[in-house]
Amino acid sequence: MPNYLGSTNPFPVRLGGGSPPIADVHNSLLEEVKSVLDTSSDHEAYAETYGDALAVAMIWRINDRLRNQVLPTRMLEALTTWEEATGLRPCLNDLGVDRRANLAGRMRGLLNNALSDIESACMALLGNNFASMNVVDPADEVTYWPGVNPGPPGFEWSSNRARIAIEMTTGGLDAASYTDKAAAVWELLDRCTPDWMTFCVGVGSSFVAAQGIVGQTLI
C-alpha cells in the first residue's frame, strides 16, 4: 500500500514497503467492530475508528523515538544532554551524524580499557574511516631501563611494548574533516587508555621519505 496524507489521500510516491501502521491498526479496529457497526467508508464508524488508529500509531511512533534516546547513534533530543554528561563540546558546524559518532565512541570508552574496548570505541567513533588498530609485534618490542639495559640519551627508560596505532582511512574526508576526526580519536584515546600506554593516530602502514606526510602518515 502507498503512504498516506490523511485517510483518503494517497501520497503520489511510494516510500518504503508494506502497509502503513495506521492502516494496520485501522483494519484491526474495523474487524473488531464490524459485527455491531456499519464499517463502510461512508459511515461515521469508519472515520471514528480511523481517528483511534491515528492515536495508537502516534503512540507507537513516540515510543520508538523514546527508545532511540538511549542509543548514541540514534539520539535526537537527548544528544545534547549526553554530550554534556560525557564532556563533549561540539562545534556549531558539527554534523549530527558526527556528533552521535563521537558520543558513541566516548560512551563505549567509558566501560573498560582493554585493547578490545579501545578498538571498539575507535570503530564507533570513526565508522567507515576506521582501518585497524595496530600493536607492536613481539619480535620488535624494545624495553630499556637504567642499570640493566639503558636506552640512548633521552630514552634511557622507555619501551614500545604498550603502544598502539589507530590507522584511519581518508575516504570521503577533506583535509579539515580528517583533522577533526583524528583530533576526536586523540581526545578519546587520551581519556580511555591507561596512563602507561602511548598511542598515535594516522593513515598508511609505514612512513616513506619524500612520500609520507609528517603528522599524518604512521611511522
Q: What is the pLDDT of residues 83-113, one digit of tens each?
A: 888 888 888 888 888 899 888 888 877 767 8
pLDDT > 60? residue 4: no
What is the rounded CA–CA span in Å between residue 84 and residue 100? Answer: 13
Q: Quick one: cell of 204? A: 598508511
**Which range is least confidently modeled, 19-23, 69-73, 103-107, 132-136?**
19-23
Per the model's pLDDT, the better-predicted residue between 215 and 33 turns out to be 33
Query: Taking a C-beta distance cutoff of 8 angstroms, is the pair 90, 102 a contact?
Result: yes
Please report the sign of the dihedral spanned by the C-alpha atoms of residue 123, residue 125, residue 131, residue 133: negative
Mean pLDDT over residues 164-177, rounded?
Answer: 89
Q: Where are the domains of the chain?
A: 21-68, 87-203
The whole-number pLDDT of residue 167 equals 92
Residue by residue, DSSP assigns 73-96 as: GG-STTHHHHHHHTT----TT--H
Predicted structure pTM score: 0.59
Query: Mind listing the pLDDT tens digit for each residue in 58-72?
Result: 888 888 888 888 788
